[in-house]
Amino acid sequence: MTMDNQTQEKLKAIKRSFFLRMDGTASRSMREKGLDYKINWGVSIPDLRQMASQYGKDYALAIALWKEDIRECKILATMIMPPEEMLPEIVELWMEQTPSQEIAEMAAFNLYQHLDYAPVMAFQWIASDNEMEQICGYNLLSRLFMKGQEPNERGIQEFLDQALTALQSPSVSIRHAAMNSVQRFASLGDDYAQISESALKTLNLGIF
């Protein structure tokens, strides 16, 4: 059996297993909240993590899973893609094909925060006019700040400039993601908290 056939068999087995773990109530609730996937089995994130642990990191399988227009396949792809093997052009392609806020958040948490070039992608996305890219970018920065990564002086100014603009966005999702990232930025230390407070005061906002 060739590697391609092995990947195809794994993909078939995974898709069959979704049926056994399906949750119609969860799927229906997601649709009512606007998460409208072509196929959504309502499988829980803990169940998907358990499945990911069974397969381990697998580049070919992650690529195959992402191509499926199925909620669970895309989330699982972010869990099993080896970060060290993911090239920037693949990240850009996945970002273009991200169908929902849930997938954007899962990708940032499960995969993008572990990329060596994560800060570059994050700053690129928060400067975008695309809602999904901004949401993913701010979620990614939140994860990086939580890991203690500090931007340089130029990065601080760029981040706060973009965040203040995002906090005035008509999109609730963008505003929420931006505020979370500012709060994570402020948690880096007293100096960062003071900078954040000063910036937010221009919009009559506070950190918490």
Segment 159-170, tens digit of pLDDT: 999 999 999 999
* Mean model confidence pLDDT for the chain: 90
Confidence of residue 204 (pLDDT cuts 50, 70, 90): confident
Confidence of residue 1 (pLDDT cuts 50, 70, 90): very low
Q: How far apart are CA 185 and CA 151, in angstroms?
A: 9
Confidence of residue 37 (pLDDT cuts 50, 70, 90): low
Q: Provide CB contacts within 8 A for 169, sequence distance 6+.
A: 134, 175, 178
Higher pLDDT, 71 or 37: 71
Whether the per-residue pLDDT at 137 is higher than 70: the answer is yes
Q: How far apart are CA 70 and CA 196, in angstroms?
A: 39
Confidence of residue 109 (pLDDT cuts 50, 70, 90): very high
**How confident is the model at residue 38, as a pLDDT?**
64
**How confident is the model at residue 89, as a pLDDT?**
97
**How confident is the model at residue 39, as a pLDDT?**
67
Q: What is the mean pLDDT of residues 130-139?
A: 97
Whether the per-residue pLDDT at 2 is higher than 90: the answer is no
Q: What is the mean pLDDT of residues 110-137?
A: 97
